Chain A
Amino acid sequence: MSAGDHPLEDLALYALGMLDTDRRDDIDAHVDACSSCASALGAHEATVAAMVDAEFPTPELTSDARRRLAHRRSAMRTPRNIASLRGLAVAAVLALAVGVLGVVDLRQRDALRDDDVFLSAIVTSHFAHAQFRAIGGAHVDAKVVYDRGGRWYEVIARDIDPSYRVAVVTRDGAIARERPERFVARGRTSVLAIETPEAFAGFELRTRDGDVVARTATPSKGGR
């Protein structure tokens, strides 16, 4: 490979932020496949980072005072309490899976905006979701978001009969037990949140008469 194949000058422009998005994508693709350009770009990035450091003396691994500042600021935005992440998890999963329900117009959309979109990354590593599949001729547009640790789940549905119940398919012997909780409608969207459920392997939606209208693919990827 000749030197001309490596976009050496553009690597410097990349690091300084002078390239447009298209060209940056080209460089990303090249750097992905080319170790020498990856390290050359890394060197330029280190120089730009040194310039930034000189301009903004900010948190460093080595500086306790600066570190505390970083912690304080991130603490404001990072809920420590898992329970407080539930709404966000729901929003995040929805946002990442837009099109499944086709709606993000829940209260969660505000949570997503006000809180960290970033958190959905953390969230999706701790939480999972599963789609309900209709049984027979029923039309069901619903999914469930749940904590991999089994501490809560929330069923979200669109245009659902609010009298439907959620039944839990347990891990031991796949016995379904109906939950007494009711869906709460918010416009076309209904949600049903369970804070401390029994261990589950899947979920069913049932009519008031106990007929199963939909169930999740079992077992959903719970626990890890």
Chain B
Amino acid sequence: MHLARDLEQAFVERDPQALDTVYSLYFALLCAVARSTLGGESDAEDCVHDLMLRIWLSKDSYRLERGALRSYLIVCVRNEALARKRKAARRHALDVHAMRMNVDDSADFAAVDHVELKRLRDALRTLPDAQRAVVELAYFGDRSQSEISSELGLPLGTVKSRVAAGLQKLAAEFTGKSR
């Protein structure tokens, strides 16, 4: 924990060593996150590199109040990957039906730990149905709020409030049983 905090401080101060360390520690993870959205290996790596570069060169990207740098990076990469995917989908007028549940397609990466995945499923199962549907669609289905709204036939405001409530509840679930 101490180490992570030191790293975050160094990152904020743009110590080049911090970037190196962040890279060593999180690159594989961040690529896995990007790959789960984008598919291709090199697309995923491009996505992570571009994002890291942008974060590093931008003054106001990460600050200590935000909490864990690791979580911050995960969400940034996910957002970046999702934005790229949506852009590509718009460009090619592809429909967005494919649910990205196939996490095994990255064979060279660590095999999916089914115990952990079960933990996620269990946590999701604790949500009321209405909340679970939107959180699952958002997380596994990579859907935007408007896509979910039209898919479930719900007003945007309802989608928002269910997502917020669902994530809040999941937070309690995860922190209650943290490793």
Residues of A that sit less than 8 Å from B by CB: 8-21, 24, 28, 31-32, 35, 38-39, 41-59, 61, 66-67, 69-71, 73-74, 77-78, 116-118, 120-122, 125-126
Contact call A45/B67, Cβ cutoff below 8 A: yes
Residues of chain B within 8 A (CB-CB) of A39 are 65-67
Residue total for B at the interface (Cβ-Cβ under 8 A): 72
Q: Which of A10, A14, A46 contacts B171 (CB 8 A)?
A: A46
User: By DSSP majority rule, is chain B's interface helix, strand, loop, or mixed?
Assistant: helix
Q: Which of A11, A16, A32, A74 contacts B60 (CB 8 A)?
A: A32
User: By DSSP majority rule, is chain A's interface helix, strand, loop, or mixed?
Assistant: helix
Residue of A nearest to B52 (CB): A118
Nearest Cβ in chain B — how far from A74, in angstroms? 5
Contact call B168/A12, Cβ cutoff below 8 A: yes
Residues of B that sit less than 8 Å from A by CB: 3-4, 14, 16, 19-20, 23-29, 31-33, 36, 45-46, 48-50, 52-53, 56-57, 60, 63, 65-68, 70-72, 74-75, 78-79, 82-83, 86, 103, 109-110, 112-113, 116-117, 119-120, 123, 135, 138-139, 142-145, 148, 160-161, 163-164, 166-168, 170-171, 174-175, 178
Contact call A70/B74, Cβ cutoff below 8 A: no
Contact call A42/B28, Cβ cutoff below 8 A: no
Of listed B24, B33, B46, B148, residue having the most chain A CB within 10 A: B24
Residues of chain B within 8 A (CB-CB) of A35 are 65
**Complex-state Cα separation, A31 to B60, whole angstroms:** 10
Take A21-B83, A49-B71, A67-B25 as given contacts and tell me if A16 and B16 are in contact as well, using a CB distance cutoff of 8 Å: no
Residues of chain B within 8 A (CB-CB) of A78 are 20, 23
Q: Which of B63, B164, B178 contacts A38 (CB 8 A)?
A: B63
Q: Which of A11, A17, A67, A116 contacts B138 (CB 8 A)?
A: A17
The 7 closest A-B pairs by CB, nearest first: A42-B67, A54-B120, A49-B71, A118-B49, A58-B29, A45-B71, A50-B174
Q: Which of A18, A21, A46, A67 contacts B163 (CB 8 A)?
A: A18
Contact call A122/B28, Cβ cutoff below 8 A: no
Contact call A48/B71, Cβ cutoff below 8 A: yes
Residue of B nearest to A113 (CB): B46
**Complex-state Cα separation, A55 to B124, whole angstroms:** 12
